[in-house]
Amino acid sequence: MSVSPLEYQNIIDQQFPNAFLINISYNLAHNIIFSGYEFAGKFGFKPCKKFSETTQYFLYPENNNTNKEPIACGFQNRPLVIETDYNQTEVKITIDHLIKTVGKNGFKYVKEIKEMNGFEEDEFEEDLPIEEYIYDQPVKERHEDIKRFMELSNLPDDDQSEDNAIELLYTSKKLFYNHFGLEEIEEKRALFINFFNVEIDDDTIPSSFSGTSDPFHIEKIEEIYNSFGHLDELKNFKIKKLANTYPEVPFYTWMVIFEMEYQDTASKKILKFIDEALSIDPENVLLLLERDKHLALEGKKAQFINDKIIEKGASSLFKNRNSIHLLELFSLHSALFETFENQKDCLAIDALCFAVSELFPEYEDFFSGKALHSELMKVAFCTEKFIK
């Protein structure tokens, strides 16, 4: 250790007050850290600039006193990406990078399993056809489900269990689907299936997205896109300066919004930036979608997304293109989801989540957080409808 025992204990007490720590040898700690460092380097990842500043306090350069031992990294020797509530932006960037370097099957993605109001995320998958939720005897079954839903909702925390949580979710889905009826649910789902009438391209940024065919900008945009897995490198591009210098290249503007979101900039400030950008490029679809998303986050009405847009389809939205980039899909999905949530349109959210899971199963992990939120909204819907 490069700090005194007293300083070390103070750090532990302040940073990990409730943690259960075990002692390991210096040699093992050294090998764990540097094995991870070398493993990540094989896939093009670099440590943050503070890596050396931090490790100088507890690691020495490799020397004869360090016995180098192999430490297994990743999952079956593949990169392992774990998403939590606090790293969704970094996960998106990391997966984009890995898809480009090792392909979709070259890494393992998992979402943190944690309890949330008694539920575990692994239990949120809809494993039954929609028809299985529809009542045979509506009056009787609805009465029984409302009664059971109220019982499960009012259980004290001490009586909550995984089985009760799963039953509450299942019961809320039955009440939700029967409230609207099979015909209305299938009609709404078909609407969104038809809406996504485009193919998805996750390769090079097309000129229809970047807004330029200039070789200088094409090369610069490709460099930026390839740096999505390295946030420190992204800073070196000085995206905001690029956007100000080349307002005619909308990709730079979109990247500024991305950076602002990553930095947790308030939606009000982001909206101001978007409005300025729209004054230059008023018909830019991604800017219009991003504006609606942040209007929704501010609890305000959408200005672009409406029923007519949904009926016409995504291809029409993107000027009759047959394919859109993966980043455009994420922006579109996020804007729709936040808009419908702001409108408290649980049926549209259910249909949206169903559509992307059916049409884009290879990207299902990207949408899993929203899908989970959709299921929790059904519980909230039933609480509002049948308890309050």
Give residues with Cβ within 8 angstroms of 152, minimum separation 6.
164, 167, 168, 171
Structural Rg of the chain based on CA atoms:
25
Q: Hey, where are the domains in the chain?
A: 5-73, 194-343
> In this model, does residue 20 exceed pLDDT 70?
no
pLDDT range class, residue 119, cuts 50, 70, 90? very low
Q: Give the pLDDT confidence of 320-379 residue by residue, as tens digits.
A: 999 999 889 999 999 999 999 999 999 999 999 999 999 998 888 788 888 888 998 999
* Contact (Cβ atoms closer than 8 angstroms) between residue 375 and residue 118: no
116: β partners: 119
Closest by CA to 62, choosing from 26, 98, 89, is 26
pLDDT of residue 37: 83
111-125, 234-248, 325-339: least confident range: 111-125
Q: Give me the mean pLDDT over the 288-304 stretch.
A: 95
Query: Residue 213: how many CB atoms within 10 A of its CB?
Result: 8
* Contact (Cβ atoms closer than 8 angstroms) between residue 70 and residue 35: yes
> In this model, does residue 137 exceed pLDDT 90?
yes
Burial 12-40 (b: 16+ CB within 10 A, else e): eeeeeeeeeeeeeeeeeebbebbbeeebe
Q: Give me the mean pLDDT over the 271-297 stretch.
A: 94
Q: Give the pLDDT confidence of 57-111 residue by residue, as tens digits.
A: 556 555 545 677 777 788 767 888 887 766 777 787 888 888 888 887 677 777 6
Closest by CA to 126, choosing from 286, 357, 340, is 357
pLDDT range class, residue 14, cuts 50, 70, 90? low
Backbone angles phi and psi of 335, in degrees to 5: -65, -45
**Residue at token pair 């019982």:** 151
Average pLDDT, rounded, for the chain:
83
**Residue at token pair 């299942």:** 170
> In this model, does residue 122 exceed pLDDT 80?
no
Tell me the residue length of the chain: 388
| Residue 109 three-state SS | strand
251-260, 311-320, 329-338: least confident range: 251-260
pTM strictly above 0.85: no
pLDDT of residue 157: 67
